[in-house]
């Protein structure tokens, strides 16, 4: 019993460190526009369009990508967006970033072979599909 009591702080620390869900939301409510990135890995899979809309030569960096999570289960992005809609639309999300990086509990991991890296997480209250401008980068 004494051994168990002495291990308790270490077990508690282990449980806390294994929790990848970010905890504290920013006080700033904002609207961001994101694109889906269909990586061939388990990683943050959205990027804010501000990075590339004004810079045609922008190369996507893993560190610029974010996870998104709905504020409730009734507000999830439809599966049709991930299958085909992301080619024609951006997402306009209104919500808050978490202050700390993490992996949202709503993220559906594609494979168990890879350990996920923490990234910024945006918790959205609402979303809109915004039609992409096909001629955006044409000269």
Specify the pLDDT at position 133: 80
Residue of 106 and 19 predicted with greater confidence: 106
pTM: 0.79
Specify the pLDDT at position 4: 47
Helix (H) or strand (E) holding 4: helix 2-18
Q: Which of 102, 109, 107 is nearest to 16 (CA)?
A: 102
Residue 83 pLDDT more than 90?
no
* Interatomic CA distance for residues 2 and 106, integer angstroms: 38
Three-state DSSP class for residue 79: helix
Residue 130 pLDDT more than 90?
yes
In the chain, where are the structural domains located? 22-131
* Interatomic CA distance for residues 18 and 99, integer angstroms: 18
* Interatomic CA distance for residues 47 and 67, integer angstroms: 9
């Amino acid at each position: 019993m004494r051994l168990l009591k002495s291990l308790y702080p270490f077990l508690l620390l282990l449980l806390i460190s294994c929790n990848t869900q970010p905890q504290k939301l920013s006080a700033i409510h904002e609207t961001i526009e994101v694109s889906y990135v269909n990586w061939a890995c388990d990683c943050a899979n959205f990027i804010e369009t501000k990075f590339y809309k004004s810079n045609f030569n922008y190369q996507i960096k893993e560190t610029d990508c974010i996870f998104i999570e709905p504020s409730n289960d009734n507000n999830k992005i439809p599966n049709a967006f991930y299958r085909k809609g992301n080619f024609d639309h951006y997402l306009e999300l209104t919500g808050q970033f978490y202050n700390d990086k993490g992996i949202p509990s709503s993220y559906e991991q594609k494979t168990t072979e890879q350990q996920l890296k923490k990234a910024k997480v945006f918790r959205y209250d609402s979303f809109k599909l915004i039609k992409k401008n096909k001629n955006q980068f044409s000269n």
